[in-house]
Amino acid sequence: MNNNTKHLALLGLLIAAATVVHYIEGLLPSLVLGVPIKLGLANIFTLYTLIKFSKRDALILTALRSLLGSILGGAITGIFYSVTGGLLAFSAMSLLLGLYRKEKVSAIGMSVCGSFFFNVGQLVVGSFLNGPAMLLYFPMMSILSIPTGFFIGIITAIIAGKLPNVQKE
């Protein structure tokens, strides 16, 4: 199998896995009663792809898993929440990638930042669709983005440390 085919196959597997995890996590209840927050397990795949593949691949994965996971979940408005949150998280983590490669920020730091911006994206969409009262969740979701991002960052760092580089830029 040539390098491009292998790369495309691996990316396809990551997208499929991220989509399935996104869908399954959508079936689970919120981590905190009354606060719409989840662990963000599909973000493991975004962060891993960003670290081991490329920004372009991570963007493709984020967009496709957000769209496909939301469609599978049957929530059309969920697409707006997921895509906006996912793209903001991707953008934030992407901006930190250079610092990660210089070992000035860890996968955990990138993940916490991504988690925070995912929540910001969701709150912006929520306030647009449901009114500004959604912004009352901001303090709690901001605080909860730290442990959720920390957890996702640790898992991603472990996985990234065990698997070989497959970057293609």
| Three-class secondary structure assignment of 96-111 | HHHHHHCCCCCHHHHH
Note whether 19 and 136 are within 8 A (CB).
no
The three-point CA angle 49-104-84 to 5° equals 45
Cα gap 49→140, rounded to integer Å: 29
Taking residues 136-165, report their average pLDDT. Answer: 92
Give domain limits for the chain: 3-162
3-class SS of residue 35: strand
Cα gap 167→75, rounded to integer Å: 34
Model confidence pLDDT, tens digit, residues 22-81 = 999 888 888 887 777 888 999 999 999 999 999 999 999 999 999 998 888 877 888 999
Model pLDDT, residue 168: 46
Model pLDDT, residue 76: 81
Model pLDDT, residue 1: 61
Distances (CA, A) of 43 to 17, 57, 126, 136, 137: 11, 14, 20, 24, 21
* Higher pLDDT, residue 111 or 134: 111
Model pLDDT, residue 55: 96
Cα gap 9→1, rounded to integer Å: 10
Model pLDDT, residue 133: 92
Cα gap 106→157, rounded to integer Å: 8
What CATH number labels 3-162?
1.10.1760.20
Query: 123: which DSSP letter?
Result: H
* Higher pLDDT, residue 166 or 135: 135
84-87 LR contacts (CB < 8 Å, sep 24+): 84/121, 84/122, 84/124, 84/125, 85/117, 85/118, 85/119, 85/120, 85/121, 85/122, 85/125, 86/46, 86/62, 86/118, 86/121, 87/59, 87/62, 87/63, 87/121
